[in-house]
Chains A and B, each alone.
Chain A
Amino acid sequence: MLNFIRLFRLISGINLHRLHTNFIHTTMASCRRPEHQAPPEVFYDDTEARKYTSNSRMIEIQMTMADRAIELLALPEDKPCFVLDVGCGSGLSGEALTEHGHFWIGMDISKPMLGIAEEREVEGDLFVGDMGEGVFFRPGTFDGVISISALQWLCNADKKTHNPPKRLYRFFSTLYGTMRRGSRAVFQFYPENSHQLELITSQAMRAGFSGGVVVDFPNSTRAKKMFLCLFAGLLNPQLPTGLGTGQGPQGSDQVAYSGQRQRFRNLKGKPLKKSRDWIKEKKERRRRQGKGDFKADSKYSGRKRSKKF
């Protein structure tokens, strides 16, 4: 499957940012990620920003993510709210906010992207700012914070003075101050690996947020999307469930009913030698010990050979 995707990338010559919005999380450390190429203020230049008005597929992906993020934000529908859009770029997510009847302020580090937002005549106010320098508004300003594909940029040190954990902490702690008690912040992001995910969430918790990561369609490589949902000043927040996980909101704390009987035969003692279970267990033990000379599990593992052999 992976090879197929790589092949597909080669022949169809899709541009880098489309890779970012859809494929990138399939590989752990890819040199194709935009963060690895240049700092955000350099990467999102005029040509890159132009894609946000011309490329309908990119716009569609951004819009669906923005809609889902707003859904997770759970703002009261009947009241107009004041929202901060971090890394608003061309203002696509802001347009989604306007559609829902909310007012917003957008910040981004790339001037060409803001230029596009200006050209699209978005409703919200814009300003140039670096999220790693902190978000500076008066305390208790915002009813919610939204951010689409921006947070992973903070994990990179683009200047000598940049220190990713410090920048993340400065961002989260100043953000916490500008949010109203009980409001939410939703970040759609592409963490490069589990270490980055851990770094981001730990810095957010340190800054006083509660919450966690919601993963939509975790079993699909293409549709999988991660949302960091943070709550400012809530004691026992209920984290929303991801789409496509197969569990409803109410069934999560119950044991699923199963028609199968539990087999007790295999529970005691070691499995029969040369049996499939025995092979599996042995492989598992080798894996645990870090000895790599075993074949990957497949449907053929521990099967009897056909008579031909």
Chain B
Amino acid sequence: MRVTALRRMKLLTHNMLTSHVKGVKNGYPLKIEVNEMKIREVDFNPEFISRMIPRLEWKALYEAAQSLDVVGNLSPEVVKDYENDEDFLKEAHRVLMEVEVIKGFLICPESGRKFPIENGIPNMLLNEGEVGDAGPSQSGTSQDDDSMQ
């Protein structure tokens, strides 16, 4: 198969993903083991970034950036009035959208289960026996509304 351009996993996706191996209570944040990564320029959309910031777990993002050695000028805390702070948004954009993991592993912090990343596509499939029960355990926690309509 001819592959012209490789897709990579962004840190934005990493910040949202949780582990779901059976019996794991807190599968967040996933650790990243990188074999190959790349930085690719993406159009800067300040509105989208500032809309995503309340949904991010900033600490996890900062730690991920540290482990990939791409911290740069990223501030360790979310600054107040971030919507108007262009420098802050640009740094967030760079780390969230432009840093891309091509090859490596996502590792569940509790069970140590490794999810391989190939061609920038994480494989989150589980084996039989690892599939947990359908528990609505994670619903209804920390959902601050930002009014859809």
Chain A interface residues (CB < 8 Å from chain B): 46, 76, 79-82, 103, 105, 107, 109, 111-112, 114-115, 117-119, 121-122, 125-130, 133-134, 136-141, 143, 159, 161, 166, 169-170, 173-174, 176-177, 180-183, 207-208
Contact = CB atoms under 8 A, between A and B. Distances in A.
Interface string B126-141: 1010011111101111
Given A136-B27, A180-B148, A127 B128 contact: no
Contact of A136 (B20, B133, B145): B20
Interface of A is mostly: mixed
A182 B148 contact: yes
B149 interface: yes
B2 interface: yes
Given A126-B7, A127-B121, A136-B124, A174 B134 contact: yes
Contacts of B18: 136-138
Contacts of A166: 134
B124 A80 contact: no
Contacts of A136: 17-20, 27, 124
Contact of B138 (A76, A107, A119, A139): A139
Interface of B: 1-7, 9-10, 12-13, 15-20, 27-28, 45, 47-48, 51-52, 55, 57, 119-126, 128, 131-136, 138-149
A125 B16 CA distance: 12
Nearest to B54: A140
A268 to B, nearest CB: 52
A120 to B, nearest CB: 9
Interface of B is mostly: loop
Contacts of A134: 20, 131-132, 134
A118 B122 CA distance: 13
Contacts of A82: 48, 51-52, 55
A133 B139 contact: no
A143 B7 contact: no
13 contacts: A82-B55, A115-B1, A119-B5, A133-B126, A134-B134, A136-B20, A137-B16, A139-B139, A177-B140, A180-B143, A181-B148, A182-B145, A208-B136
